C-alpha cells in the first residue's frame, strides 16, 4: 500500500459524505495504491451508522469503531497502527483546507519525514484577532515547553512517513498529540517542514479550536 488517509471522527455526521466523496476524487487523481481509514470514537449523532454504511458500500474506505469515547489521540494512534500505507495523510474531517494542490504537497514528502500543510505560512494571521490571540498563546507554550517552531501545531492536513512516526511512540490523549509528535520528532532528528496551503472556502479562515484542556495537556507530555 502506497498511501493511507486517516481521519478521526467524533460527532461529525454532517461532514462524512462530503469528506468521503472528496477523498475518493483525490485517490483517482494520484497514481498510487490508496486506502481511506475512518475511526469513529463512539459518536452519538449517527456518525457511527453512517460510516458503517459507507464502509459496506465503498471498497476503498475502511472503518475502526470505538465502543466508548477514548479521545482524539487514541483514534489517531489506532488509525496509524491499522493503516498500511508507506505514506499516511491525516485529515480533519471538516476538510477546511484546499485539496486542489494535494499532489504538489504530497511530492514534498519525498525528502522529508513529516510535511505540515500550514495555515500560518504566508497567511494573513491578523484575521479573527480574538481567536488568533488564543491560538498564538497556545502555539507559544508549545514552542516554549516542547521546543519546536511549528506554527500550525494542529494542522488540518499532515503528511507522515508511517514507520518513522510509529517509532516515536506517541502517548497524548487528545490533539496535543501533534505538538508531541513534532517535539519528539525533532528530538529524534526527523525531517519536518511546514508548507503553505489554501482554504477550501475562500475567505473563511479556519483557526484550530483550542480548549482549556489543550493548554493543560501541554504540561503532561
Domain boundaries, the chain: 3-218
Cβ contact 60:23 at 8 Å: no
pLDDT at residue 128, rounded to an integer: 47
Closest by Cα among 117, 82, 102 to 8: 82
The DSSP string of 131-179 is: HHHHHHHHHHHHHHHH----S-TT-SEEEEEHHHHHTT----SSTTHHH
pLDDT at residue 55, rounded to an integer: 94
For the segment 141-184, what is each residue's pLDDT rounded down to a tens digit?
A: 888 888 888 988 989 999 999 999 999 999 988 888 999 999 99
How many whole angstroms separate alpha carbon 217 and alpha carbon 221? 7
pLDDT at residue 139, rounded to an integer: 86
pLDDT at residue 204, rounded to an integer: 56
For the segment 48-106, what is each residue's pLDDT rounded down to a tens digit?
A: 999 999 999 998 999 999 999 999 999 999 999 999 999 999 999 998 888 988 999 99
pLDDT at residue 125, rounded to an integer: 43
Is the confidence at residue 115, as pLDDT, over 90? Answer: yes
Is the confidence at residue 10, as pLDDT, over 90? Answer: yes
165-to-26, 90, 102, 180 alpha-carbon distances in Å: 23, 12, 21, 11
pLDDT at residue 201, rounded to an integer: 66
Question: 170 or 198: whose pLDDT is higher?
Answer: 170
Q: Helix or strand or coil: residue 198?
A: coil
- Decide yes or no: CATH 3.30.450.40 for domain 3-218: no
Q: What percent of the chain has pLDDT over 70?
A: 92
pLDDT at residue 208, rounded to an integer: 67
Cβ contact 120:195 at 8 Å: no
Question: 208 or 149: whose pLDDT is higher?
Answer: 149
Amino acid at each position: 500500500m502506497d498511501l493511507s488517509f486517516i481521519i478521526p471522527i467524533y460527532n461529525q455526521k454532517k461532514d462524512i459524505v462530503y469528506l468521503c466523496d472528496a477523498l475518493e476524487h483525490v485517490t483517482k487523481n494520484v497514481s498510487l495504491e490508496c486506502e481511506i481509514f475512518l475511526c469513529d470514537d463512539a459518536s452519538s449523532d449517527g456518525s457511527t451508522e453512517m460510516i458503517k454504511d459507507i464502509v459496506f458500500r465503498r471498497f476503498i474506505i475502511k472503518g475502526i469503531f470505538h465502543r466508548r469515547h477514548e479521545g482524539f489521540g487514541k483514534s489517531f494512534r489506532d488509525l496509524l497502527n491499522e493503516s498500511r500505507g508507506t505514506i499516511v495523510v491525516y485529515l480533519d474531517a471538516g476538510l477546511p483546507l484546499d485539496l486542489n494542490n494535494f499532489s504538489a504537497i504530497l511530492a514534498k514528502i519525498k525528502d522529508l519525514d513529516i510535511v505540515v500543510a500550514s495555515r500560518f505560512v504566508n497567511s494573513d494571521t491578523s484575521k479573527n484577532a480574538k481567536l488568533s490571540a488564543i491560538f498564538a498563546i497556545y502555539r507559544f507554550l508549545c514552542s516554549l515547553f516542547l521546543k519546536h517552531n511549528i506554527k500550525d501545531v494542529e494542522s488540518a492536513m499532515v503528511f507522515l512517513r508511517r514507520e518513522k512516526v510509529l517509532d516515536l511512540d506517541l502517548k497524548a490523549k487528545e490533539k496535543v498529540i501533534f505538538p508531541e509528535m513534532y517535539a519528539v520528532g525533532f528530538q529524534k532528528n526527523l525531517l519536518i517542514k511546514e508548507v503553505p496551503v489554501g482554504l477550501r472556502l475562500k475567505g473563511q479562515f479556519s483557526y484550530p479550536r483550542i480548549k482549556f484542556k489543550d493548554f493543560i495537556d501541554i504540561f503532561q507530555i
